Amino acid sequence: MNAVDFNRRKFVLGSASLLSSGLVACKLLGQDPPPVTDPRATSGDDTYEPNWDEQLTLTVGTQKADLVGTNERVIQAAVDYVARLGGGTVKILPGTYHFRNSVYLASGVRIVGSGPESILLKEPSIKKAISADSDWYDQEITLQDAEGFRVGDGVCLQTKNPHNSGTDVLKRTLVAQNGNRFKLDKALRKNYWLSGEPTCASLFPLFSGEFVEHITLENITFDGNLKNNENLNGNYGGCIWLQDCRRISMRNLETRNYNGDGISWQICHDVLVENCHSHDNGDLGLHPGSGSQRPVMIGNKLERNGIGIFWCWGVKYGLAENNQIHDTTLYGISIGHNDTDNVMRNNLITGSGRVGILFRDDCRGKDFWANRNRIENNQVIDSGGPEGVAIDVQGETKDVSIANNEIRETREPQQRIGIRLSALSESITLKDNRIEGFATPLQQIEG
């Protein structure tokens, strides 16, 4: 499947969900609707957009550009300008752009860089204690020490929840200052009391999107400056972080050195990640997050991350194909809680720290395992330490097909296992797999 195939697939999926009364009437009468032969720009209709010869393109650069600057503000200004006119392209010219806050994405905007010459670099993080109680309705915080923070900075606020002992995490922007007091762009909506030991840190995604759609990102280099930044969990950040979005295409991106995830998307549908290089991130290379439907990950190179591809909760009807996943700290691919009906094929997975492909035992309900998934034509080589496992099917996972894979160990066999099936797994189909070099090629755990 290539980019053209995916776009066609998106079109079919999108069209199927846009049944107008006329189309329904035609179907009820057993007729096909008439073809659209002369599409026009019609208010509210993005199903059939004409192919325009030219759309708005705005350049951003450190010099000689439509908008000139060296930080996230100039890129944000370009995105906002193009979005206000209904969409178009922001072209990031060569240069290094220093980020103190996210660029917030907008629907219908394509952002294109100059490959390795367009570098978005996160500035070092600062973390300070919050020194005054703030209630959930407040829109300000007071820091013990404001040194290093500026108006316009993106920040992450964390505290222990006073009611359930969990951790509350909020992302905000500092919009006004008076000494150690800062006004926030939005109210807290959580209690940040001193009893919870609240903190403020300059942590944020480099690109952030919420409730946006029809976005393309291409040929950009993201650098999270890992050595000079604290960790930000992938549910809240990454080089690129998206939530409640749809129809997002990401191609030829480099996401590196983020103390968290390379690319993370939560409850996002019809996301394409193609030919991207996500490497040396503190946590996950690619994170198709909770509830995401139909993610497609093709031809990516994922190196030296904690986990290469992490299928989160309830990710369905996805495809991971022709990816290279090398030298992860933990797992090459991890799939679990209610992640069903996905296909992983033609991937090369080498040097995983613990397990090449892990089916997690996410025991949280009656049937929350990674069922009805297909593992086909992959190469899984040199997985884990002396007791490593190439493919580990845990818990009550069922109805999984593992076929035509090359599962190989080139080191000493030691206690290594090719495929391990839990005692409670059911209907695991193993067919035409080549398993070599293991102390135990196949292990079925006794119940």
Domain edge (last residue) among 173, 201, 229: 201
Domain of 69, CATH number, reads 2.160.20.10
Whether residue 16 lies inside any domain: the answer is no
Give residue 446's pLDDT: 85
Query: With bands split at pLDDT 50, 70 and 90, how would you rate the model's confidence at 37?
Result: confident
Query: Are 132 and 74 within one domain?
Result: no
Averaged pLDDT score across all residues of the chain: 93
Question: Which of the listed residues 201, 232, 262 is the one where a domain comes to its end?
Answer: 201
300 CA to centre of own chain = 13
Same domain, 193 and 323: no
Statement: residue 205 has pLDDT above 70:
yes
Last residue of a domain, one of 181, 201, 221: 201
**Is residue 192 a part of any domain in this protein?**
yes
Residues 244-274 have pLDDT tens digits of 999 999 999 999 999 999 999 999 999 999 9
Q: 17 pLDDT band (50/70/90 cuts)?
A: very low
pLDDT class of 13 with cuts at 50, 70, 90:
very low
Instruction: Give the burial class of 314: count Cβ atoms within 10 A of its Cβ; 0-12 exposed, 13-18 middle, 19 or more buried.
Output: middle
pLDDT tens per residue across span 314-356: 999 999 999 999 999 999 999 999 999 999 999 999 999 999 9
Q: What is the mean pLDDT of residues 19-30?
A: 55
Q: Is residue 17 part of a domain?
A: no
Residues 252 and 377 in one domain: yes
More confident residue, 215 or 8: 215
Residue 159 sits in the same domain as residue 186 = yes
Task: Tell me the mean pLDDT in the region 288-294.
Answer: 97
pTM of the model: 0.91
Residues 208 and 272 in one domain: yes
Residue 309 lies in a domain: yes
Question: In terms of domains, do 333 and 320 share one?
Answer: yes
Residues 210 and 66 in one domain: yes
**pLDDT score for 15:** 41
pLDDT of amino acid 1: 39
- The lowest-confidence range among 48-57, 85-94, 208-217 is 48-57
Let me know if residue 414 belongs to a domain.
Answer: yes
- 9 within a domain of the structure (yes/no): no
On whether residue 19 sits in a domain, the answer given is: no
Q: What is the pLDDT of residues 155-171, one digit of tens each?
A: 999 999 988 889 999 99
The pLDDT value recorded for residue 10 is 40
Query: Do residues 292 and 224 both lie within one domain?
Result: yes
- Asked if 195 and 229 sit in the same domain, the reply is no
- Same domain? For 71 and 139 the reply is no
Q: Is residue 35, in this structure, part of any structural domain at all? A: no
Which residue range forms the structural domain that includes residue 370? 57-122+204-444
Asked if 123 and 101 count as a contact pair (C-beta separation under 8 A), the reply is no
Say what the pLDDT of residue 321 is.
Answer: 98
Contacts of residue 380, Cβ cutoff 8 Å, sequence gap at least 6: 332, 349, 352, 356, 357, 390, 391, 405, 406, 407, 408
The domain total for the chain is 2
220 burial class (0-12, 13-18, 19+ CB within 10 angstroms)?
buried
Residue 173 sits in a domain of what CATH number?
Answer: 2.40.30
The mean pLDDT of 91-103, rounded to a whole number, is 98
pLDDT at 28 (0 to 100): 59
Is 97 in the same domain as 61?
A: yes
Question: Same domain, yes or no, for 117 and 162?
Answer: no
